[in-house]
Structure 1
Amino acid sequence: MKKVAEIARQEMTTQLTEAQAYLQGHLKENPLQFMQERITKEMEDKLRELRINNPIESVLKWQCDTCELETCISHLGDIVQELVSVPKYSTFQTSTIATGKKGSGPGQLNDPRGVAIHEATNQIFVANTSNHRVEIFSDTGEYLNQLGEEQLDMPYGIAIHGENVYVSCCVDHTINQFTLTDMSLVRKIGSVGSNNGQFNFPRQLTTDPIGHVFIADRDNDRISVHDTDLNHLRNITHQSMTKPFDVKVSRDHVYILCPYNNPCMHVLTLEGHKLHSLITSGLGMDVLCPLFFCLDSLNNFGISDEDSHTIRVFSPEGNLLHKIGTEGHQQGMLCYPKGIAITPNGRLVSVSENRNYGLQIFY
């Protein structure tokens, strides 16, 4: 019976792979239209095949109904959500929401740097660096709230997991954890140094799916990894990784942007083993000053290029897919773009030194 059950699992895995490829092919063509018009039926059809059109249906019903089938349903739902969240880059030159006039008042920005998205609400969190706080906006640009005004000194990077907000401050070399429950500061760690738990000009940070915090510890030439309570877990280092500035984590890989000297994007396993690097100033990429980047659900990555005042989107192999923005201070224009992020509903968020529209949402 165990052998038969294993055959059943293999059959289910094969059909799940086919269903994934089928849905991915359709969703890539026109994700939003497909979701609106057909996804319910297609999902039902494919899931029905997983359960019924199987030569060993009885074993599947006995072994998999309460466990593996639910996993399949959940996994297919994740696939659909990921593909639908891929931005429609081709429309971004004409479709924007803009806000964040330069200033010090609520919702105004002064040298913004990092940006992060609260996935449950699509809310946008901006490290309002020279105003020493974090601003919170809706994904339609409406100013909502702020946090950290009394606790932060030149906030730089920002990451969110669940109700936890993590903010790096490069001046005092600290990482600050806030809770969205009451916007209060939960803990602050760090001081200047190279020991575990110390930092040397920390820049961007991100979280993985289970809430571990990855911090680009720039002048220590490492990625410092912490748990949700900011207890140190490990460091990621590599001889070719110098002065990391930004870091992102997908389901399978860690992406690290090192912008100085010979700018490149390092791709590593989750355990920290290096796979390959993409030279951002070569291979046709021509990104002159890359400091911030984001990943979409297909591992395409967008890079803010300060020198050309653009955002450039590349495939995982480094091929240019789209270029967004021109230099200026009007809506749709960028001026020394900084942090970028992608919302779960497929909008690309950018902050820059545009004195009229420091926050722009492309959709």
Structure 2
Amino acid sequence: MVERFAIAPQVLDPIETHINYTIDGLIGLLNVRRAQLLRQVHNMREDERAAEIARQEMSTQLIEAHAYLQGHLKENPLQSMQERITKEMEDKLRDLRNNIPVESVLKWQCDTRELETCISHLGDIVQESVGVPKYSTFQMSTVATEKKGSGPGQLNDPQGVAIHEATNQIYVANFYNDRIEIFSDAGEYLNQLGVRQLNGPWGIAIHGENVYVSCWRDFTINQFTLTDMSLVRKIGGKGSNNGQFNFPRQLTTDPIGHVFIADQLNNRISIFDTDLNHLRNITHHSMSKPVDVKVSRDRVYVLCLYNNPCMLVLTLEGDKLHSLITRGQGMDVLCPLFFCLDPLNNFVTSDQDSHSIRVFSPEGNLLHKIGTEGHQQGMLYSPQGIAITSNGRLVCVSYNKNYPLQIFY
């Protein structure tokens, strides 16, 4: 008979079991800590790389900013503008240095040496503001169009003028040709807008890719988009209700795109949003037949043809602050229909009766007179719309039968 023996199960030492469990736990914790440290190192390297990329991008931006200054501020900026730009660039350099890893400091110093030299050269720029026309030295003008007519680029009774801020292209309300003509800031004819869609265009304003045109014959405001040069919407009709007009004249936009319209015979400024939804009106008992309007900071400037003084300065709420520019005395304007503001907030006004352009200080003092009566180059005859490009060119249209659009330098 064969005996069967049962194999006794192995009995583990409790102490050994506890030691093994403890060791396994420590290994697990070490692995977790190792993973945490590796992640921290990875993040630190990523942060360093991101800081280096940001430094390179900022360095590129600063160098481009300097190139912009060298290329576009050759017209000699004001000392205050020069000092502000210099301080901003130096502050950016200081902030960047404080955020650069230690091992990158030497390379950063080498990279910025040329930039710091460029900053020091800002002190060599003479004092005069960019974009302000040199009114006192205007002698000749570039001729954008010759002879009035109905062909592409020809004008017949031009009225309002607007400048596209990004391109400096010139947009002219071509009244009797019922369209908008587009020119480069050198006077080259480029394109047309609103053909067979406008009825007596008078005023024009541009904000971003939106173009707003007031039309006299059908009392409407028309919105176009430059994306595809199409008509987006048309509002209005003759009347005195909100959204109606009684001979809408020139219009303008504020920095956020609200449209301000000089509604002449309703004796008000009508304000709309970017989609031409009516917001409110500005009225004042001293506002009589407004023909042009501009907005600058927290001020609304309204040109009233039959007022004396003819320029009202109002708050955005319509409260009158004061009046400027007396009509018919000495060298002042006689029959102003359009005006614009230069970067120094001077008023530049076209005057039909004296066939000239007058420049007034923000206080209303006459600074310059431009143009003489005639139909030759450099002469004006009943000047209408005026505007200033960002590079300081003064654009003016008039009834000059030979040169209806001229660009003064």
1:357 matched to 2:403? The reply is yes
Q: 1:265 maps to what in 2?
A: 311
1:86-109 per-residue CA deviation (whole Å, 9 max, x = no partner) reads: 111122223444424200000000
Tell me how far apart the structure 2 counterparts of residues 280 and 100 of structure 1 sit (CA, whole Å).
Answer: 34
Q: 1:295 maps to what in 2?
A: 341
Q: 1:327 maps to what in 2?
A: 373
Amino acid paired to 1:174: T
Q: 1:79 maps to what in 2?
A: none
Q: 2:393 maps to what in 1?
A: 347
Tell me how far apart the structure 2 counterparts of residues 45 and 239 of structure 1 sit (CA, whole Å).
Answer: 46
How far did residue 253 of structure 1 move? 1.0
1:108 to 1:134, Cα distance in 2 relative to 1, 3 A: same
Tell me how far apart the structure 1 counterparts of residues 239 and 330 of structure 2 sit (CA, whole Å).
Answer: 38
150, 160, 164: which one aligns with 1:118: 164
Q: 1:170 maps to what in 2?
A: 216
Amino acid paired to 1:335: Y
Q: 1:235 maps to what in 2?
A: 281
201-210 or 268-277: bigger deviation: 268-277
Equivalent runs, 1:91-102 vs 2, <5 Å = 91-102=137-148
1:152 matched to 2:194? The reply is no
Q: 1:308 maps to what in 2?
A: 354
1:70-91 per-residue CA deviation (whole Å, 9 max, x = no partner) reads: xxxxxxxxxxxx9411111122
Equivalent runs, 1:22-37 vs 2, <5 Å = 32-34=74-76
1:22-42 per-residue CA deviation (whole Å, 9 max, x = no partner) reads: xxxxx9xxx63435xxx8897
- Does the Cα contact within 8 Å between 2:142 and 2:186 map onto a contact in 1? no
Tell me how far apart the structure 2 counterparts of residues 46 and 305 of structure 1 sit (CA, whole Å).
Answer: 41
Tell me how far apart the structure 2 counterparts of residues 237 and 86 of structure 1 sit (CA, whole Å).
Answer: 32
Tell me how far apart the structure 1 counterparts of residues 308 and 318 of structure 2 sit (CA, whole Å).
Answer: 21
How far did residue 279 of structure 1 move? 3.9
Aligned residues, how many? 306
Q: 1:226 maps to what in 2?
A: 272
How far did residue 126 of structure 1 move? 0.2
1:296 to 1:33, Cα distance in 2 relative to 1, 3 A: closer
Partner of 1:34, secondary structure, is coil
1:349 to 1:33, Cα distance in 2 relative to 1, 3 A: closer
Q: 1:140 maps to what in 2?
A: 186
Tell me how far apart the structure 2 counterparts of residues 40 and 116 of structure 1 sit (CA, whole Å).
Answer: 29
- Does the Cα contact within 8 Å between 2:76 and 2:130 map onto a contact in 1? no
1:239 to 1:46, Cα distance in 2 relative to 1, 3 A: same
Partner of 1:345, secondary structure, is coil
| Identical-residue share of aligned pairs (%) | 77
1:131 matched to 2:177? The reply is yes
1:103 matched to 2:149? The reply is yes
1:104 to 1:95, Cα distance in 2 relative to 1, 3 A: closer
Larger Rg: 2
1:244-275 per-residue CA deviation (whole Å, 9 max, x = no partner) reads: 00001112211000011535100112222211
How far did residue 46 of structure 1 move? 5.5
RMSD in angstroms over aligned alpha carbons?
2.5
Q: 2:120 maps to what in 1?
A: none
- Does the Cα contact within 8 Å between 2:341 and 2:348 map onto a contact in 1? yes
1:41 to 1:102, Cα distance in 2 relative to 1, 3 A: same
347-356 or 92-101: bigger deviation: 92-101
Tell me how far apart the structure 2 counterparts of residues 41 and 322 of structure 1 sit (CA, whole Å).
Answer: 29
- Does the Cα contact within 8 Å between 1:98 and 1:331 map onto a contact in 2? no
Amino acid paired to 2:90: R
- Does the Cα contact within 8 Å between 1:215 and 1:247 map onto a contact in 2? yes
Q: Unaligned regions of 5+ residues in structure 1, if any?
A: 1-26, 59-81
Tell me how far apart the structure 2 counterparts of residues 33 and 162 of structure 1 sit (CA, whole Å).
Answer: 26
Instruction: Tell me the TM-score normalized by structure 2.
Output: 0.70
Q: 1:197 maps to what in 2?
A: 243
Tell me how far apart the structure 2 counterparts of residues 198 and 42 of structure 1 sit (CA, whole Å).
Answer: 45
1:44 to 1:332, Cα distance in 2 relative to 1, 3 A: same
85, 98, 120: which one aligns with 1:43: 85
- Does the Cα contact within 8 Å between 2:75 and 2:129 map onto a contact in 1? no
How far did residue 321 of structure 1 move? 1.0
How far did residue 182 of structure 1 move? 1.0
Tell me how far apart the structure 2 counterparts of residues 174 and 235 of structure 1 sit (CA, whole Å).
Answer: 17
